[in-house]
Amino acid sequence: MGSILNAEHITVEFGGLVAVNDVSFDIPEKGIVSLIGPNGAGKTTFFNILTGLYKPTSGHVMYDGSEITALVPHKIAAGGVARTFQNIRLFGSMTAEENVMVAMHSHLKASLASTILGLPSQRREEKAAREEARALLEFVGIGKTATEFARNLSYGDQRRLEVARALALRPKVLLLDEPTAGMNPQESAVFVEFVHRIRDEKGISILLIEHDMAVVMKVSERITVLDRGEKIAEGTPAEIKSNPRVIEAYLGKGVGAGH
């Protein structure tokens, strides 16, 4: 299987701090892969590189056969690399439905004039967009909240809305930054199923950053481990579980003792 997104020798420096050090990484087409590592390992920074928010000090990002390293973020997003945020970043004073529709911006074509005049083409497009947004909200399980302000949703629903909004970009790759943070074990279990549905029903490749080891081990086909900006291991869940470097750097502190 080919890879849809692939980062080659990425290094990111913030002043003196090397947040990501020569990390290469692949998201296989229609794969579900995870990025794990202790706090401050550079996982979110790596996401920010893939989505164009930060530019790497060195290295390249290839997506769907072309280089996107230097592209502006909105072009990368419109091209099909969607993400959610570790700290939820919804548009609070807009409704759930509108949040989703914002992410359709790049697909919609209506001009300023046709919007003001309310031309039939614009109305049709809006109607279709609204229906698509409703369908996405249903898909993530919060169809009832369509007309609620995002800031009034429960924490769990906000996390779901972030996913629905990202899906509205009609992405080929979905990057989820700690999507189960704040969920209880049952909700997390449901979430694992949900990630599979996204991949299977929509054919989207998924990269997760995740702290919950139960989720990571269940959902991932491959796992990459970062520690202090360095890639220290890569492999299947079984390989990662038994990798001594990983246990030392990461699992030893958390899951090894606790779970």
Partner 1 sequence: MAISLLKRSKTSGKKKQKSPASARQWAISLTIVAIAIWAFFTYLFDKTPDAVQAWFQVWLPPSTLNESLVWVICALGLNIVVGYAGLLDLGFVAFWAFGGYAAGWFMSGFFHQVNIHFGSMSANTIPGIHLSFWLVMVIAALIAGFFGIIIGAPTLRLKSDYLALVTLGFGEIIPQVFTNGENIGGFNLSNGTKGISPIDAIGVFGKRLGPFDLGWKFLIYFFLAACMVFVSLRIRGGRLGRAWLAIREDELAASMMGVPLMRTKLTAYAVGAFSGGIGGAVYATHVNGIFAERFNFSISIILLAMVVLGGMGNVWGVIVGALLMAWINATGLPAVGDTFNNTFHTQINFPSYNFLLFGGILVLMMLFKRDGLLPEARLKMISHENDDDTSNTGGH
Ligand X SMILES: Nc1ncnc2c1ncn2[C@@H]1O[C@H](COP(=O)(O)OP(=O)(O)OP(=O)(O)O)[C@@H](O)[C@H]1O
- 95 binds partner 1 per the rule CB under 8 A: yes
CB of 100 to Mg ion, least distance (A): 24
Helices (H), 90-184: 96-102, 112-117, 120-140, 155-167
- 40 binds ligand X per the rule CB under 6 A: yes
Contacting range for partner 1; rule: CB under 8 A; set: 7-15, 100-108, 195-203, 246-254: 100-108
Which of 90, 137, 140, 163 contacts partner 1 by CB under 8 A?
A: 90
CA distances from 113 to 105, 106, 109, 126, 167 (A): 16, 17, 11, 14, 28
Rounded distance between C-alpha atoms, residue 75 and residue 139, angstroms: 26
Which of residues 12 and 101 has its CB atom nearest to partner 1 in the complex?
A: 101
| C-alpha distance across the termini of the chain, in Å | 34
Which of residues 130 and 211 has its CB atom nearest to Mg ion in the complex?
A: 211
What is the size of the binding site for ligand X (CB under 6 A)?
12
Which of 38, 40, 91, 141 contacts partner 1 by CB under 8 A?
A: 91
What is the size of the binding site for Mg ion (CB under 5 A)?
2
Contacts of 125 (CB under 8 A, 6+ apart): 108, 109, 110
Residue 140: name the closest of 114, 123, 159, 127 by CA: 159
Which of 6, 11, 24, 86 contacts Mg ion by CB under 5 A?
A: 86
Name which of residues 22 to 61 contact Mg ion (CB under 5 A). 44
Name which of residues 167 to 196 contact partner 1 (CB under 8 A). 168-169
Buried b (16+ CB within 10 A) or exposed e, 191-203: bbebbeebbeeee
- 54 binds partner 1 per the rule CB under 8 A: no
- 220 binds partner 1 per the rule CB under 8 A: no
Contacting range for partner 1; rule: CB under 8 A; set: 59-67, 139-147, 195-203, 238-246: 139-147
- 72 binds partner 1 per the rule CB under 8 A: yes
Which of residues 49 and 133 has its CB atom nearest to Mg ion in the complex?
A: 49
The side-by-side arrangement of strands in the sheet containing 58-63 is 17-28, 3-14, 58-63, 66-67
Q: What is the dihedral of CA 45, 177, 105, 95, to 10 degrees?
A: -130
CB of 83 to Mg ion, least distance (A): 12
How many CB atoms sit inside 10 A of residue 108's CB?
13
